[in-house]
Amino acid sequence: MICMKTLCARVRSTTRALTQKSSQTPTAAFCVIGDEILSGTTQDTNTRTLASQCFSLGINLQKIEIVPDSRASIGASLVELSHAHTVVFTSGGIGPTHDDITYDAVARAFGDKLAYHSETLQRMQRIMGDTARARPDPNGTSAERACARMALLPQSARVTFVDDKLWVPVVQVQNVHVLPGIPRLFARMTHAYLPELAAELGARAFVRAEVETRVSESVLAPVLERVQSEYASRGVKLGSYPQWPSPHTLVSVVGQSPKDVHECRDKLALLLSDLS
């Protein structure tokens, strides 16, 4: 169950600090953190999850970076991305082990320090229950201290709990939103968190239409260039995607005005039918 009151309050606080408003499409970047991604040991599925959600909500995901478990690499990436985009999302590196350094890297990057977050600790203790092998305790055994590390958050962070059954929060420092790397948890939390964020940013959902053709890309290219030039000022973008080994090519038409997208699609379909 989403804690809507808390979520809305946090998101409103976030957007007051942003300069980009509803007259522009909000932009986003995604920083994927983990040596295991770069080594090919683990397949990143969070990128597709975030990309599809951003598209459906009208947030323009413009850049994706994958960085190692390095404070310097994480910090440098986040500072650069946060300056260039409305919002930045991260995944990974918030667990209890020595290589889980995302919170610390975020704090250092933005001149902050870490402190135990009491509500996170309390939620951890409540949700984990007495059956947990290691319950969070900053002054307990080595295992209990390691568990408590997951509640060691940047002091200035806005902390949002999106589900009463989850103790993991969305941790936001400036315009950076820190999320877990576990795919099912990442998906669950972004599905709860992003719609409210998108609404507060004034985002308008993207619309996609498609045209399938057997016309080769070489023959298709001049037509696409002409139509793209005609509709660019309306925020419509065309993309061409060969369906190899099939002889078909899929042309996508994307924009935020259903009228413009469908008009462009219909015009393109008519032009391509003349080439078939």
Which distant-in-sequence residues (6+ apart) come within 8 Å of 200 by Cβ?
8, 11, 12, 14, 15
The enclosing domain of 229 has a CATH number of: 3.30.70.1130
Q: What SS3 state is found at 218?
A: helix
Q: Are residues 37 and 155 in the same domain?
A: yes
Closest residue by Cα to residue 67 from 27, 46, 43, 39? 39
Q: Are residues 119 and 136 in the same domain?
A: yes
The pLDDT, as a whole number, for residue 203 is 95
Q: Are residues 162 and 126 in the same domain?
A: yes
The pLDDT, as a whole number, for residue 134 is 80
Domain count, the chain: 2
Peptide bond into 245 cis (omega under 30): yes
Task: Quote the mean pLDDT of the chain.
Answer: 91
The pLDDT, as a whole number, for residue 1 is 38
Cα separations (Å) of 101 from 23, 108, 110, 159?
Answer: 37, 11, 14, 18
The pLDDT, as a whole number, for residue 163 is 93
CB atoms within 10 A of CB 210: 14
Residue 2 reports pLDDT greater than 80 = no
Cα separations (Å) of 218 from 3, 204, 246, 272?
Answer: 53, 34, 16, 13
The enclosing domain of 108 has a CATH number of: 3.40.980.10
Q: Are residues 125 and 13 in the same domain?
A: yes
Mean pLDDT of 24-33: 97
The pLDDT, as a whole number, for residue 19 is 38
Q: Are residues 112 and 52 in the same domain?
A: yes
Mean pLDDT of 190-215: 95
Q: Among residues 176, 200, 224, which one ends one of the domains? A: 200
pLDDT tens per residue, range 227-244: 999 999 999 999 999 998
Q: Are residues 191 and 94 in the same domain?
A: yes
The pLDDT, as a whole number, for residue 23 is 57
Cα–Cα distance between 53 and 89 in angstroms, integer? 12
Q: Which amino acid is at 226?
A: R
Q: Are residues 74 and 175 in the same domain?
A: yes
Q: Which amino acid is at 27?
A: T
Report residue 95's pLDDT band, with 50, 70 and 90 as the boundaries: very high
Closest residue by Cα to residue 255 from 62, 63, 55, 64? 55
Residue 13 reports pLDDT greater than 60 = no
The pLDDT, as a whole number, for residue 83 is 98
pLDDT tens per residue, range 141-166: 999 999 999 999 999 999 999 999 99
pLDDT tens per residue, range 102-146: 999 999 999 999 999 999 999 999 999 876 778 899 999 999 999
Report residue 175's pLDDT band, with 50, 70 and 90 as the boundaries: very high
Higher pLDDT pick, 245 / 33: 33
Mean pLDDT of 89-109: 98
Q: Are residues 25 and 103 in the same domain?
A: yes
Q: Are residues 127 and 66 in the same domain?
A: yes
pLDDT tens per residue, range 242-264: 998 888 999 999 999 999 999 99
pLDDT tens per residue, range 48-78: 999 999 999 999 999 999 999 999 999 999 9
Residue 10 reports pLDDT greater than 60 = no
Q: Are residues 176 and 136 in the same domain?
A: yes
The pLDDT, as a whole number, for residue 11 is 39
Which class for 160: exposed (0-12), middle (13-18), buried (19 or more C-beta within 10 A)? buried
Q: Are residues 122 and 23 in the same domain?
A: yes
Cα–Cα distance between 178 and 102 in angstroms, integer? 8
- For residues 23, 251, 194, 102, the Cα torsion angle rounded to the nearest 10 degrees is -110
The pLDDT, as a whole number, for residue 121 is 96
Q: Among residues 200, 224, 240, which one ends one of the domains? A: 200
Residue 21 reports pLDDT greater than 80 = no
Q: Are residues 45 and 174 in the same domain?
A: yes
Q: Among residues 182, 200, 218, which one ends one of the domains? A: 200
Which residue range forms the structural domain that includes residue 120?
Answer: 4-200
